Each structure stands twice: as C-alpha cells, then as structure tokens.
Amino acid sequence: MPVKGPIASGPLLAVSNLTKLFGSFAACNAINLHIEPGEIHALLGENGAGKSTLVKMLFGVLAPTAGEILWMGDNVRIGSPGDARKLGIGMVFQHFSLFEALTVAENIALSMDRSISLARVAEEASRLSHVYGLPLDPNAHVADLSVGERQRIEIVRALLQNPQLIILDEPTSVLTPQEADRLFETLLKLKAEGRSVLYISHRLEEVQRICDRATVLRHGKVTGACDPRAETPASLARMMVGNDVAVVTSEGTNTKGDVQLEARHLSVAARTPFAVSLKDVCLKVKAGEVLAIAGVAGNGQSELFDALSGEYPVADDNAVQIRQKPVGTRNINARRLMGAGFVPEERHGHAAVSSLSLSDNLVLARNQSDKRAFLGGGFLKIIRQGAVKAATKRISEAMDVRKSGEDPPAGSLSGGNLQKFIVGRELDRQPAVLIVNQPTWGVDAGAASRIRQALVDLAKAGSAVLVISQDLDEIFEVATEIAVICEGRLSDPYPARELSREKIGLLMGGMHGKTEGAGAAHAH
Amino acid sequence: MRIELERRPKVSALFSILSPFIAFALTIVFGGIMFALLGKNPVAALYSFFVEPLSEVWSLHELAIKAAPLILIGVGLSVCFRSNNWNIGAEGQFIMGAIAGSILPVVFYDWQSPLMLPLMLVLGMIGGALFAAIPAFLKAHMNTNEILTSLMLVYVAQLFLDWLVRGPWRNPEGMNFPETRTFGADAILPEMLASGRTHWGFAFAIIAALAVWFMMRYTLRGFEITVLGQSERAGRFAGFSSRKMIWFSMLFSGALAGLAGISEVSGAIQQLRPVISPGYGFTAIIVAFLGRLNPLGIIAAGLVLALTYLGGEAAQLSIGVSDKVTRVFQGLLLFFVLSCDTLIHYRIRLVRERFAALKTDEAH
C-alpha cells in the first residue's frame, strides 16, 4: 500500500519543548525530538523516564502543558486519539484493548467507520496481514489466540488506518524471540514503504538491531540522540541510567552441594478461571546453584511460586521438599522457619503494603522467622520497634536503598529501591533457599544489576536460588541451570552455558525438547 | 459530560486531622438550616440540642450512660472495619448479648451469689460473639457477603427479643406487660460515682478502647489486622490467614457488642423489654468512622453521638420537635464524615472529552 499525501521534505514529526506537568512533577521536561520519514526511531529510557507520557501526548491521550507538535511542518493540536488517527498516527499499546469474546474481524471493525461491512473489514484485514507477514485468521476468537497473535491484531488495526507514523510501546516485552523476529521483519517492511516507526523499548540489543536513530530519555529530559549502531550497549545504558551499570560477575565455579529445594511431580489445579494449572512439575535446586525458569508471562509462573512458597499449600506433602523434608502441606511461615526466603513478583500489595513503613514491611516477611528478635512481651507479641528499625537500617545500607527519611512508607520508594529492600529483607536472613519471581521486573538498570549480583553471590555462598523470570538477559546473567515453563509444564533443566536463545525460544513456545526437528519447522 | 473522582497525588495530613471537625461543623450548619425550615430559631434550637444537655451534672451522667454502649461497640467495630470485615449487625449482637446475659437473672431469679454479675457479663459476651459467629461462618466458609447477613440478622434478634418478653420470659407478676422480671440486686451493674447514675459500663468502654488502642499500636495482632485490611495478598505472604481474621474480628466485635448489651440492660434498664436499644449498634458505625477507626478517637466520637441522643430528647421537650431529629443529625454527621474523607482522597473532575473512556482503558 503506498503512503498517502505529499512527502514533505522536512521531518515527519517534530516536537519542540514539549512539557507535561503532573502537579509540580515534570513527567516530560522540554522534550525535543524529530522523526524523519521512513526511519525506525527508538525511544529509550528506564521505567519512569517519561516515554509513555511523551507517547500519550503524541497520540492525543494526554494534553501537553507546554510546547508544540509539528506534523509535516504544521503546528497541530492533537486533542484525542481520533485526531491522531486522522493525521496519520497509529499506535500499538503495551496492554491490548481487545474483547476476548469477539472475533479478530469484529475487534478490528469496532475501531472503524460503522458504514464498512464486517466482511470487507475481514477481507481487508486478512489481505494486510498477508502483505506484512502477520498471519491472522479474521474469524478466530481473540480468547483462543496467543499474546503474539493478539499483538498482530493491534498492528493490523493500526495499519488499516494507513498511518505514516506507527508508535509501538514495548512491543517485544510479551513475545518469544521467534515472535519478535517476525515483528522486526514487519517493521522493516513498513520502513521500506516510507512509513516511520517510533519504537519504545528498554532492550538495547533490539534497538541496535533495527533502529536507525535513538532518542534517550532520563527523568523526563532528553539525555542523548544517537545512532544506536554506532554505540555499544554499555554506552546506551549509560545514557539511560546516567552512570555505568555494573556488570554482573559470576567468576569462579560454584561448589554444588545437596539438593535444597525440590518439586516432585507437583500438580496443582487452577484456582480461578484465569489461572494456569501446574502439570507434573519436577525440579531440583542444589546448594550453590541458580536455577532460572524462563517463560512467557502467564504460563504458570505465579502458580508455581504460590505452591513453592506455601502461600497456597498443596495436598501432597511430598510434592515440595525444602532441605530434603516434605513441606507441601505446610504454610509459608513454616517454610521460612526451615530456611527458605521468598520474593514475589508484585511489589505493591503482595511483597509489601504501600501505606506501611519499611520497618512494618520488614515485620511483614519476618514476623515468625525472626520472632525472637522482633517480638517481645510473651503472648502479647509486642513488636520491638527498636530492633525492627535497626534491621531496616542495616538492610537499607547493605542494599543501597535510597529513600526519603529514616522509615518512609513503602509506596514512596521508587520501584527499584523498594525491590532492593524486598530482596535485601530476605538476603539479610541468609536463607538456605531463595525463591524469587521476576526479581527485576520494572526496575531501573542500576538496581537490577545490584539485585542480580546479590542473587549470584548468595548462590556462591552456598544457598540454592530459584529465579523465575521473563527476561532472558537476566536469566543468562544469573543462572547456572535453566528450565522453561510453558502452559504449566516445566522442561528439563539445561546447564546455562549449553543453552542458546533459540533453543529457549522453542521451549517457550511449547517444544519440550522431544520433537525438536518438527517443532523448529513448525515455529518458523 | 460526567463527574469523575480522581485520586489526589498526595493526601493532606492537615485535612485528615481536621476532617471530623469539619464534618461536625457542617452538621451544625445544616442542622441550623433544618431548624430554620421548621420555623424554629436555629440558634436557640441548636443551643438546646447541643449545649443544654452539658450544663447539668445529671445530664452529664446520662451522656456517659449513652456513650458507654456506643464506645464499646464502636471499638469492636473498628477492629472489624480495619481488617476489611463489614459487620453491620452490632445491633443484633447487642440484643443477643443482652438476652444471653439475662438468662441468669430472669430464669434463675432466685439464685443469689456475688458470681451472678460476672457470669452475666461473660454470658453477654458469649451471646454477642455467637450471634456474630453466624455471619462469620457464612463469610469464611460460604463466601457470603457479611454486610447483608449481619444486617438481616438484626431483625431476627429484635423479633426474638420481642417474642421472649411477650412469651416465655414475661414477668408472671407483671400484669401482662411485655417485660421480664426486674433484676435482683446481685444482677445490677452498680454505679461508678456517688454523684449520679453512670454505671460501670462506661469504665468497660474506656478500658476496651485503651486495650484495643494498645493492641493496634504495639502488638503483632494489631499489625495483622492492619495488613489484612490493606491487602489480603500481602497478609497471606506474611503468613496471616484472612479466614481466621474473619472469625477473630467478627467474634471480637460481637463480644464487645454483647457486653454493651448486657451492661445496658443490667446497668440502665434492669429488665428486658421489647426494645432495649435506640439503635446503638447502628449509631456505633458512625462513631467508629467519626473516630477515624482509632479507639481514642472513638471515645470522643461516642460522646458526641451520645449528645445527639440527649439533644433529641431535650429538643423534644424544650422546642417541641420530633425526636427523629436525632436520626437526622446522626445521618448528616455520617454523610459529612464520609464525604470529607472522600474529598481528602479524591478530587472531583468534570469530564467533557469524547474519548474519556479510552483514556481510562489505557491508563494502566
């Protein structure tokens, strides 16, 4: 499909001094940016750098406080997503807005002019999806589709408007490596047609692979504009983070000891209609090992964590073993008393209560395991504030937790600092077994490297560490063994050094190493 | 165009403290308007409603008598509400406590012993707790909404009391009045002070408030209540059981409501009648919120709400308005407390844009 309208000689989109204030907080502070026709432009930055705010202003979801947006040289005011679409801007959001009960064509039709018949929409959608290598069955129900396929619907929906600029917000965060490869091919095709892409990501490898230029944001300001191919990942990270990110080192060999954590044929029925059931999961983590479990989100990771932590004990006592003792039916505090520590995925409302102080949140995780130190007064169980505050201080110093004041509410900390505290809260006990779900999800690069180093060091000191993560970079940084979870089934573990990303990708797509040849052919 | 509540980025600490006072001031203003609409002089009416009852010793005693059940129940409810369990049936637990505590002086009326009174109080607490156990069981094991079950059980308790005092427990020497025997001397909760009628129920209320304040502030149990109220999932991570908390908070508040019931009957009425409460169990919900679910605040709030009962009686006599005015004032007060709290946490926004719905979809 040719691009409509005259091709202006200047930039397609230029933004000057664009500012968005929330109260007195500047989410975007005098941003300057220009996108040329036919380029893939990366918008890089950590969580909270202002990427989403900027994009929402470009798509008419948020109104700028100051500054101007020039579209093909004209000063425009984008008051709504409808305005943006009329100009020729399409957007694919990180979180999809699809109705699961409707078909692909029906979902697409919802965003179109009502006068167009459903049959035409379906025809057009399947033609577009064919042209751009985004195979889609217009009559399939969304509920039956994978995350990658759902993303294709969003992309096709955006393409139907014939946009000249397509904005993609963290598109690969939910994709397997193979699905991501296919997405990149589509993007290059769009570029070849003269369309522009604004590609938001914090994954440096991807940006270097497909983007022509990059604009880096930090704390709401532009900190750099560059050709990502001329940079190294370290130099890009420096622009994003502001200082050199420490590289996680795992030198020297880990001395492996006895099995400390084991799941034996662990099966758990789904608790809710949206949960995944665990099917015959077997795993072993020895002292000195870091077993990482990779997988696309929503394949049973949370359910596995719940069963291993004892937040939801299982019926078979032998199915979970901590330090070679059956604990399947025991609760989380009984497992903590046996030397295990746990870090759940969700910080707010699970690992911590946002409105409570850090010291209260320390009591949250350690009210039984440290009751001698933290509780007094016999049956009254009076919390010893002095001891708890001292331990809070110790943990904050050990993990370099930056906070306002001595003992602020957990909700006032940034994601990275709160996560450092939550991990530090467990490390402080020197647990023999540590189970972590998504250790650095939504955490800035500096904090992430600190947390990963701490996990590696804990294993070196002789603990068994289980890391559940969707981030392959993270997995390769910390793991000694890797297994993959897909639809509630866990693959066999592989030594981290012998496993390639491609192999992991196949396992993430459900090829459990048994039908490798056929599986590879099918996946491509 | 529609109205949206938008969460404020920061909650003002000053207004959080001022909120109950602002609510009380607004109640006074609107109460004055109401009196003016009724054709009364608002200043004189408000004076006789809120000030006169405080001007004499006997009426201060009446204030303490009315505040005692409000504080006792309110303190129990604060534990419930803080743990996210919504016991609305304290009125029924109050009545069942009164009935259970009255078994001894009504059925075994010729038994005389110094143990009589302590046993009555214990039975009263058990009665209230057992009645609260019904919604607790239904919520913990059947996933039923405790707001509905506890509220509906109030009517069961009221009708059960009515049947008792008209039927099996009616005083055989009472000329067919629907009343039980009057309690013997051993069964009466004595007065605390020589100057008036205030009985030991008021002391129980203050002790309960201080004990719960201590529990919430210093002990692991208080911490557990707070955590489970804020996030059940975080509570589970801490090893706390929300199911056990349903039982604890419901039984605890039921027991305090039952204690309030038997104290009221034994100290103030000294027999059972078809109606033994002017809605203490419901008013205590207002007390709990006006006191910001803080036991010390609840003491103050209990006194304020007790004043609305006294003021209603006084206004009935001195300016000739219906005692329903009390209910109006209580309703205004609850309304303003809740609206002040809402406006502290949220601001009102008028939404005009056509794509407002899209925005909310994409915000998360």
Q: By C-alpha distance, which of A88, A80, A132, A142 is closest to A110?
A: A142
The complex's ipTM? 0.85
Query: Chain B, 301-360: which have a CB under 8 Å from a chain A CB?
Result: 353-355, 358-359
**Rounded CA gap, A78 and A63, in Å?**
8
Q: How do beta strands A66-71 and A74-76 pair?
A: antiparallel
**Rounded CA gap, B263 and B100, in Å?**
12
Is A368's CB within 8 Å of B358's CB? no
* Tens-digit pLDDT string for chain B (364 aa): 678 787 787 778 888 888 889 999 999 999 999 999 988 899 988 898 889 889 889 999 999 999 999 999 999 999 999 999 999 999 999 999 999 999 999 999 999 999 999 999 999 999 999 999 999 999 999 999 999 999 999 999 999 999 999 999 999 988 889 999 999 999 999 998 888 889 999 999 999 999 999 999 999 999 999 999 999 999 999 999 999 999 999 999 999 999 999 999 999 999 999 999 999 999 999 999 999 999 999 999 999 999 989 988 888 888 888 878 888 888 998 899 889 988 988 888 876 644 433 334 433 4
Tell me which CATH code domain A13-241 carries: 3.40.50.300
B245 contacts B80 by C-beta, under 8 angstroms: no
Is B220's CB within 8 Å of A367's CB? yes
Q: By C-alpha distance, which of B341, B283, B285, B308 is closest to B81?
A: B285
Closest chain B C-alpha to A255 CA, distance in angstroms: 31
Domain ranges across chain B: 65-281
Q: At what angle do helices B242-264 and B90-101 cross, to 10 degrees?
A: 60
Looking at A310-378, list the stretches that DSSP marks H as alpha helix, in order from N- to C-terminal side. 332-337, 358-366, 371-374
Domain ranges across chain A: 13-241, 259-355+422-523
- From chain A, the residues in CB contact with B10 under 8 A are 23
H or E segment at B163? Answer: helix B146-166
**Rounded CA gap, A292 and A475, in Å?**
6
Statement: residue A518 has pLDDT above 60: no
Closest chain B C-alpha to A304 CA, distance in angstroms: 15
Q: Which of A80, A363, A383 sits opposite B353 (nearest CB)?
A: A80
Q: Which of A61, A364, A377 sits opposite B227 (nearest CB)?
A: A364
What phi-psi label fits residue A123: left (phi over 0), alpha (psi between -120 and 50 degrees) or beta?
Answer: alpha
Looking at A479-515, list the stretches that DSSP marks H as alpha helix, in order from N- to C-terminal side. 501-508
Is B220's CB within 8 Å of A79's CB? no
Nearest CA in chain B to A312: B236
Q: Does B237 touch chain A (CB under 8 A)?
A: yes
- From chain B, the residues in CB contact with A81 under 8 A are 355, 358
Fold topology of A259-355+422-523:
Rossmann fold (3.40.50)
Q: Which of A98-102, A344-348, A425-429, B144-148 has the lowest mean pLDDT?
A: A98-102
H or E segment at A343? Answer: strand A340-343
pLDDT digits (tens, 9 = 90+) for A248-293: 776 656 678 899 999 999 999 988 777 789 999 999 999 999 999 9
**Rounded CA gap, A462 and B38, in Å?**
81
Q: Transcribe B36-77 into DSSP letters.
A: HHTTS-HHHHHIIIIIGGGSSHHHHHHHHHHHHHHHHHHHHH
A373 contacts A391 by C-beta, under 8 angstroms: yes
